[in-house]
């Protein structure tokens, strides 16, 4: 129960920082001084968002593992030929990949505010990470 509250508080704080940053502060910074305020504003929001997001990652991993077990059990129960361990590994790989893509989409406006090239490098790293997770999940490692 304590881990759940800790997880919820950190991810809620990260979400609020992201919402206010991307929807309020970055547009205000662009309106006031398009050349000078966007970089410091993006960096401050990026640091605050990352701090709370990384604090909540352990709880998020536990939630993703539990969700993959439940989804794999329901899938394997419908398909009698499937082994539960194989299905669970594949579902976990899919959930982790989806989570990485969602994190990239959350970080994208903040990284683009710093420099568009950083966002491009992040896309390459995300694609490589997702492919690695999917190949390991499907290969059985």
Structure tokens at 39: 């970089």
Q: How far is CA 84 from CA 69, 79, 89, in A?
A: 9, 10, 9
- What pTM was estimated for this model as a whole? 0.83
Q: With 90 as the cut, is the pLDDT of residue 106 above it? A: yes
Q: What is the pLDDT of residue 1?
A: 46
Which range marks the domain in which residue 57 is found?
Answer: 2-139
How many folded domains does the chain comprise?
Answer: 1
Q: With 50 as the cut, is the pLDDT of residue 2 above it? A: no
The predicted-structure confidence for 54-69, as pLDDT tens digits, reads as follows 988 878 888 888 888 8
Strands (DSSP E) contained in the chain are: none
109 — pLDDT class (breaks 50, 70, 90): very high
Q: Are 93 and 86 in contact (CB under 8 A)?
A: no
d(CA 130, CA 102): 12
22 — pLDDT class (breaks 50, 70, 90): very high
d(CA 121, CA 103): 15
């Amino acid at each position: 129960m304590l881990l759940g509250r800790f997880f919820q508080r950190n991810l809620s704080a990260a979400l609020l920082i992201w919402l206010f940053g991307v929807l309020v502060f970055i547009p205000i910074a662009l309106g006031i001084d398009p050349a000078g305020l966007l970089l410091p504003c993006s960096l401050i929001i990026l640091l605050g968002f990352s701090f709370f997001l990384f604090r909540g990652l352990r709880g998020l991993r536990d939630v993703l593992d539990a969700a993959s077990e439940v989804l794999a059990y329901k899938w394997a129960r419908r398909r009698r030929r499937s082994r539960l361990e194989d299905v669970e590994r594949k579902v976990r790989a899919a959930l982790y990949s989806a989570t990485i893509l969602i994190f990239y989409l959350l970080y994208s406006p903040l990284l683009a505010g710093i420099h568009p090239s950083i966002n491009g490098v992040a896309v390459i790293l995300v694609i490589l990470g997702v492919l690695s997770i999917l190949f390991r999940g499907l290969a059985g490692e």
